[in-house]
Amino acid sequence: MGRGKIEIKKIENLNSRQVTFSKRRNGLLKKAKELSVLCDAEVAVIIFSSTGKLYEFSNTSMEHTLSRYSKGAESDSAEQPIDVPPTDVMAVEPDTNLLMEEITKLRSAYLRMMGKELDGLSLKELQQLENQLSEGMQSVKDKKEQVLVEQLRKSRIQEQKAMLENEVLRKQLEEIQNKTKSQFLEFSSLDRTFSKNGSKSLFNCASEENDLSDTSLQLGLWSPEESIEDGTLQRLRESSGFTLTF
């Protein structure tokens, strides 16, 4: 039983398109190699994927083959009428069409991810789109939880650091208060000692003054008519320390 005929049109499913591209690219390169060996032909193949990746094959040298192609294209263009576009312009036009097609495809995929332009999608394609959105939402949730956990961890570290700093400041304050209290007690003790010694000194000074007052000589007036012996007068002078003048 033969295989059914495959309709040649663009494959809408991205995964299926990539698988088909990989298989057919390998088959094309294999056929090009076989053609160059079987027919002794110079063969070069250049392939650009839809994502812009380059694949190439040449049985001789790509530069040599392109140089031969350029020379042949120049000779052919000389024989073409004036109104025919140059070969390089014709080669650029397919690339522009491919780029426009790629832009349209990306825009359509973006709108579908936003829940727009869903008309024309089959049940399978809608299911695939739903799975993609679910996976995307789960990735966003996981990333959000990761960010929240990291922020919580940093907050706890800052909180512990603040608690340690407060504990250090509290201990320093207690040390300052204890030191101040100790200095105050020492000062009070010295003040009481000084007061006690000062009172004692004042008492001693007062006693000494009383003793001096008791031993001081009370002098009176002497009558010139009184007769005083020279020895008695001399002893009075020595004991009192004063000089008496009559």
User: pTM of the full predicted structure?
Assistant: 0.31
Q: Which residues of the chain have pLDDT under 70?
A: 1-5, 74-94, 187-246
pLDDT at 149: 92
DSSP state of 44: E
pLDDT at 164: 92
pLDDT at 234: 59
pLDDT at 221: 44
pLDDT at 242: 47
Q: DSSP letters of 148-194?
A: HHHHHHHHHHHHHHHHHHHHHHHHHHHHHHHHHHHHHHHHHHHHHHH
Distance CA(161)–CA(165), nearest Å, equals 6
Output the six-digit token pair for 230.
């020279």
Domains (range + CATH), the chain: 11-60 (3.40.1810.10)
pLDDT at 220: 45
pLDDT at 228: 44
pLDDT at 34: 92
pLDDT at 16: 85
Tokens 């057919």 locate to 24
